[in-house]
C-alpha cells in the first residue's frame, strides 16, 4: 500500500481560531476504495477537520493532498471539480422541488451545463440518463416525482447523497449521514452507503455518531479527541483500544 498514491492524505494539519486550537497536528491517509469513519465526542474537532478537507477553511499549518496533489489552498468549489463530493450535517436540498428536479440541477452542475439557457437533444439525454442513474443508485426512482420536502428524513438524506453523486465525485465525504434518524431510516441510509462503497467502489470518508453504523461499515476508523488524533485502526482494533474506551466509547451509552 505504501507505494501507491492514496486518494486522500492529510499531513500534520492544524487549525487555530485565535487562541483556540480546534484541530492540532492531525494526519490521515485514505486509500482508494476505502471507507474511513471519523468518530469522537462532541467538541472533538470532527466538523472542523471535515471543513479543512473540503476547503471551507484553510489550514493554519500542514498539507492536504487529493490524488497526490496539494489542495491545501485550493477553494472548495475547485475541489468539487477535482472529484470531491460532500453532504452536510443538516440536509442541503431544495424541499420545494421534486427528487428528479433536485437531481437534474446537480447533474447539470456536474456536467457544466448550469449556466446554459437551453440544451440540445444530445445534452438533454445526457442529463436525463445521468439523473436516472444516480436516482437508481440511491433507490429513489419510484419517488422521482415526489417533492423532496414531503419525503421521510431518510429519503431526504438519500436525495442529498444522490445530488452529491451527480457531481461524479471520486471521493465522497458524508457528515453525520444518519443524524436524527430512527432505526428504519438508519438501516436504509446505511444500506445505501454500503452499496456505494462495495458495489460502486466509492472512496468514502464519513463522520458518524452512531457506533452501530461505524462498526458495521468502516474499513478503518480515526478517533479525534480535543482536536487531536487519539487513535486509528480497524473496527476491531478501535473497539479494543483502552484509550478510546476511556475517552469515548465508554461514555457512548
pLDDT tens for the chain, 253 residues: list them: 456 899 999 999 999 999 999 999 999 999 999 999 999 988 899 999 999 999 999 999 999 999 999 999 999 989 988 999 988 655 668 899 999 999 998 888 888 787 677 788 888 898 999 999 999 999 999 999 999 999 998 999 999 999 999 888 999 999 999 988 999 999 999 999 999 999 889 999 999 989 999 999 999 999 999 999 999 999 999 999 998 888 765 554 3
- Predicted local confidence at residue 72, as pLDDT: 97
**8 A C-beta contact, residue 31 and residue 7:** yes
Cα atoms found within 13 Å of the Cα of residue 229, Cβ hemisphere only: 18
Domain boundaries, the chain: 1-77+208-253
Q: Which three cell numbers stand for residue 124?
A: 438533454
Which residue, 4, 3, 61, is CA-closest to 27? 61
pLDDT in the model for residue 120: 85
Beta strands in 18-97 (DSSP E): 20-30, 35-39, 61-66, 69-70, 84-87
Pick from 103, 217, 216, 221: which is nearest to 163 by CA?
103
Please tell me the predicted confidence (pLDDT) of residue 252: 43
E strands of 80-227, at which residues? 84-87, 171-175, 203-207, 220-225
In angstroms, rounded to a whole number, what is the distance separating the alpha carbons of residues 152 and 233?
34
CATH topology of domain 1-77+208-253: Rossmann fold (3.40.50)
Amino acid at each position: 500500500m505504501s507505494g501507491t498514491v492514496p486518494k486522500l492524505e492529510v499531513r500534520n494539519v492544524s487549525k487555530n481560531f485565535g487562541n483556540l486550537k480546534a484541530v492540532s497536528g492531525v494526519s490521515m491517509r485514505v486509500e482508494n476504495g476505502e471507507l474511513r469513519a471519523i468518530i469522537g465526542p462532541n467538541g472533538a474537532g470532527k466538523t472542523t477537520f471535515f471543513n479543512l478537507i473540503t476547503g471551507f477553511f484553510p489550514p493554519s499549518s500542514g498539507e492536504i493532498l487529493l490524488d497526490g496533489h496539494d489542495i491545501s489552498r485550493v477553494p472548495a468549489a475547485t475541489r468539487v471539480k477535482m472529484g470531491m463530493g460532500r453532504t452536510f450535517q443538516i440536509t442541503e436540498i431544495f424541499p420545494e422541488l421534486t427528487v428528479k428536479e433536485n437531481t437534474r440541477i446537480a447533474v447539470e452542475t456536474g456536467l457544466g451545463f448550469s449556466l446554459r439557457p437551453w440544451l440540445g437533444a444530445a445534452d438533454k439525454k445526457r442529463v436525463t440518463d445521468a439523473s436516472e442513474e444516480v436516482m437508481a443508485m440511491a433507490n429513489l426512482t419510484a419517488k422521482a416525482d415526489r417533492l423532496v420536502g414531503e419525503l421521510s428524513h431518510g429519503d431526504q438524506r438519500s436525495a442529498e447523497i444522490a445530488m452529491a453523486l451527480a457531481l461524479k465525485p471520486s471521493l465522497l465525504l458524508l457528515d453525520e449521514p444518519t443524524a436524527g434518524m430512527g432505526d428504519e431510516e438508519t438501516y436504509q441510509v446505511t444500506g445505501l452507503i454500503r452499496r456505494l462503497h462495495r458495489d460502486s467502489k466509492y472512496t468514502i470518508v464519513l463522520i458518524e455518531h452512531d457506533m452501530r453504523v461505524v462498526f458495521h461499515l468502516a474499513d478503518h476508523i480515526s478517533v479525534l479527541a480535543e482536536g487531536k488524533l487519539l487513535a486509528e485502526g480497524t473496527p476491531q482494533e478501535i473497539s479494543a483500544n483502552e484509550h478510546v474506551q476511556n475517552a469515548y466509547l465508554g461514555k457512548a451509552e
